[in-house]
Amino acid sequence: MKNKTPPKRITSTIINALKGGVVPRIGLEYITVGRDAEINALLHDIDIISDGGAAFRFIVGKYGSGKSFLLQTIRNYATEKGFVVVDCDLSPERRFVGTKGQGLATYKELIKNMSTKTKPDGGALPLILERWISGIRSRVMLESGSREETGEFTEQVEKEIFKVINSLEGMVNGFEFAKAVMLYYRAYNQSDDRMKSNIIRWFRGEYHTKTEAKNELDINFIVGDDNWYDFLKIFALFVVHAGYKGMLIIVDELVNIFKIAHTITRQNNYEKILTMYNDVLQGKARHIGFLIGGTPQSIEDKYKGVFSYEALRSRLAAGRYAMEDAKDMLAPIIRLSMLTHEEMYVLIEKLVVMHGQLFDYTPRIRHEDLVAFLTEEYNRVGASTHITPREIIRDFIELLNILYQNPDKDAASFLGSGEYVTVPDRIEDEFAEFEI
């Protein structure tokens, strides 16, 4: 973890994101606390992927428990270590399989969010292709000792490219992928920006018909709902040829599959998950990892959750010996427990320092105030089972904002006084909402 103070732009992003109840995509290393066992298990997976293996994990936690935070932390670590990371959230429009192109929509979102260390905010596909070409040209130039691009040099480069292409052609849909790669290289050589743009569109799954792709690229194939996963497996091997360690695929909000009302559609999506899971465990996929985030209900519900699909339940269900205080972090499912009180204290202490830095003031909140705040949060009715880090952090940043804007007051005047009412306890109507 970094000890130095983050720049203001990162501090602003962190504070604003946490106040809004979302996970910032940058600066997570400044506020990460706890989760050592979970992070170490996932870092071990990343080492396996780097060595040519594959990994598949479900990250399970309640809303606001830190699930998305953990996924983003691993995402940032992976890009820093030389991985290509693609990520997306599932939604009614984005699924693993669908009758209206929802699977393709997921693929498009993943490729749009393709990130690397030098391109952490997505859109890294052109950069990866250019790096691959540049790497081959540099290697040939080094081996030949030539600094001039002669006919012999170009011929040698194409031989190296064909070696890569031959390794891809043996995979499902690998021939078409390899053909597109070669087309991109030739467009690169001829400075044909229009052709390069068309090939990028094809890789992104933006061609609607095979006829359109055939006319513009002479490729009688397009990415679709039934083959997008095969394309990700090819991409994983290709990025290794381009100099990266592998590909990490992060998919959050599995609950949107759980919410599908139509049983057959829901089961089809679980079947797709089973296909990916089997590929990983049977060694059919290389240099690729999957992290899928979901709530406990979306996994364990026997009627609509992942466990409603017997083939997955039998593979994923915990054994007899796993307990709350003795978890198996090498199992396919990592269940997130709540942060301890001590870990929450460390986190809000960090937020005090960052808030003061962001607004150029010296915070007046004391150790006793931090303890009083956490005591008040954890003493709320139902807090032992229902309160989450998201709610606590959101409340605390609100308290910091109020104290900053009202310098004549101190934290003690709000804590326990009834003036400071936490978000979940606000009642705007005559009756509180409740669930049975």
Architecture of the domain defined by 35-116+244-335:
3-Layer(aba) Sandwich (3.40)
**Sheet with strand 288-294: strands edge to edge:** 84-89, 247-252, 288-294, 54-60, 333-335
Give yes or no for a contact between 236 and 247, defined as CB atoms under 8 angstroms apart. yes
For 228-269, what is each residue's pLDDT tens digit? 999 999 999 999 999 999 999 999 999 999 999 999 999 999
Mean pLDDT of 306-335: 80
Angle at 88 between CA 244 and CA 397, to 5 degrees: 105
Q: Identify the band that residue 152 occupies on the pLDDT scale cut at 50, 70 and 90.
A: confident
Euclidean distance between CA atoms 158 and 152, whole angstroms: 10
Q: Identify the band that residue 426 occupies on the pLDDT scale cut at 50, 70 and 90.
A: very low
For 190-236, what is each residue's pLDDT tens digit? 899 999 999 999 999 999 999 999 999 999 999 999 899 999 999 99
Unique residue bearing structure tokens 């990892």: 289
Unique residue bearing structure tokens 């005047």: 413
**Whole-prediction pTM value?**
0.83
DSSP assignment string, 109-156: HHHHT-B-SS-TTS--HHHHHHHHHHHHHHHHHHHH---S--HHHHHH
Give yes or no for a contact between 382 and 397, defined as CB atoms under 8 angstroms apart. no
Euclidean distance between CA atoms 44 and 148, whole angstroms: 44
Angle at 10 between CA 1 and CA 408, to 5 degrees: 105
Euclidean distance between CA atoms 48 and 42, whole angstroms: 10
- Of 79-93, 100-114, 119-133, 154-168, the one with minimum mean pLDDT is 154-168
